[in-house]
Amino acid sequence: MGELHPQVHCCAIEVVRFDRPLCDPAACGFAGDSRYVEVVYGGVLGPSATAIYRRLYWAVLAARDRSVRFDLRELALAVGVKSSIAQRSVDRLVDFRFAHVDGHELAIRKRMPAVSERMLGRLSPSVVALHRAAISAMGGPS
């Protein structure tokens, strides 16, 4: 982790689009605009990376799943961080597999699986309780 992804290390993110689903969308965890992603993954990714992911997610969703272009500086301003923090946040999204570089495109995931048990150990008891309630609501083991 922490390596720079040179294809998106510039002033503009060429194109952002949704990645191909890794599983059946109906059975594959949580949508990018869900409270689960904001609260549970927010504790793993950090607030800046979570805000940037959600901004990218909403933009691609609003474009009806078509690709959109982003200026990294504008994205940084939109979420209230410096450009260097926005770049590290995009790198973090890649490191945590919320996104990946595909040629000159940044492909983001539309749905995320539940966080791993290992990651749960790093989160507060209230966030772990939210995780367990969300998994239970989906019919999984709590």
pLDDT, tens digit, 9 for 90 and up, residues 72-125: 888 999 999 999 999 999 999 999 888 888 777 888 888 888 898 899 999 999
Q: Which two tokens stand for residue 33?
A: 């605009």
Lookup result for tokens 């239970």: 136
Q: Which domain holds residue 86?
A: 6-137
The whole-number pLDDT of residue 47 equals: 93
Most confident of 3-7, 117-121, 128-132: 128-132
- Is the pLDDT at 15 greater than 70? The verdict is no
Q: Has residue 1 been placed in a domain?
A: no
For residue 91, what are the contacts with CB-CB under 8 A and spacing of at least 6? 2, 3, 4, 5, 8, 9
Q: Has residue 142 been placed in a domain?
A: no
- Side chain identity at residue 57, one-letter code: Y
* Domains of the chain: total: 1
Mean pLDDT of the chain: 82
- Could you report how far apart the first and last alpha carbons of the chain are, in Å? 30
